[in-house]
Amino acid sequence: MTRPALRPRLIGLDADDTLWHNEPLFRMTHARFDALLQPWADAATVASHLAAVERRNLSTYGYGAKGFTLSMLETALDLSHREVPGAVLHEILSAGRELMRHPMEPLPGVAEALPRLAAIAPLVLVTKGDLFHQETKLAASGLGAFFHGVEIVSEKTADTYRRVAARHGVAPEATLMAGNSVRSDILPALDAGCRAVLIPYPLVWAHEAAEVPQDHPRFSQCDSLAALADWLEALPQAGA
């Protein structure tokens, strides 16, 4: 693992499961959905069908809780051969609404680490998902003030990261992206020429699973945003 010799001039941060808990809420909703569909299918069948429906719907609904709710409704209709009662559909809608409204819970240490990171380089939030829901979560988190910019994108590709760096007038090589998803936060950022730091979260959505890069010169891993701040603070400033 090679670490950069200079501080970055722009820091991109992922939101879900990097700044605040997200995947456990989806898992909770998923468990409730399993129980509702028990009359028609076992948990394994529900899980595999829902995953397939979600994957198919991503290009239509994008990421986030609303698309997930629609995919749950579709799965319920499919697995019950369209015989699922209205009361169950109502329960599924309630579960989806609660997922949207669930209080935002920042990960431990994030509120303390963000001002330290913001003192190193401007912070940009780079997140997928539903625009309204992500903006609501950021506002509820009270963390918005630390961010110089917010980019809510439909997909995280190398182009996304190149665009974000260009918009802030920073070369990709001077841009660092940190997040919990190898597939979305790390691999495309490395492809774009950025540095990328994986901050693992214990749960990973199956769709986001990918191999951690081995021996990539611009890749590193940290246990937390605080550990990332510790490391970056020890580096000399770019251009200094």
Where does this chain touch Mg ion (CB under 5 A) — which range of 12-20, 29-37, 39-47, 131-139? Answer: 12-20
When the beta carbons of 80 and 200 are compared against Mg ion, the nearer one is 200
Minimum Å gap between C-beta 25 and Mg ion is 13
Name the one range near Mg ion by CB under 5 A: 154-162, 175-183, 190-198, 218-226: 175-183
Shortest CB 8 distance to Mg ion, Å: 19
Distances (CA, A) of 59 to 56, 69, 151: 7, 15, 19
Q: Does 151 bind Mg ion (CB under 5 A)?
A: no
As measured in angstroms, the least distance from the Cβ of 128 to Mg ion is 8
Q: Which of 29, 175, 180, 220 binds Mg ion (CB under 5 A)?
A: 180
β-pair type (149-153, 219-221): unpaired
57 exposure class (CB count in 10 Å sphere: 0-12, 13-18, 19+) = middle
Our CB check for Mg ion shows the closer of 10 and 185 to be 185
CA–CA distances in Å: residue 104 to residues 96, 142, 179: 15, 10, 18
Q: How many residues bind Mg ion (CB under 5 A)?
A: 5
* Per-residue tokens: 211: 């191999």
Query: Which of 14, 54, 130, 151 touches Mg ion by CB under 5 A?
Result: 14
In angstroms, the CA 90 to CA 75 distance is: 14
Contact 79, 47 (CB under 8 A): no
Residues that bind Mg ion (CB under 5 A): 14, 16-17, 180-181
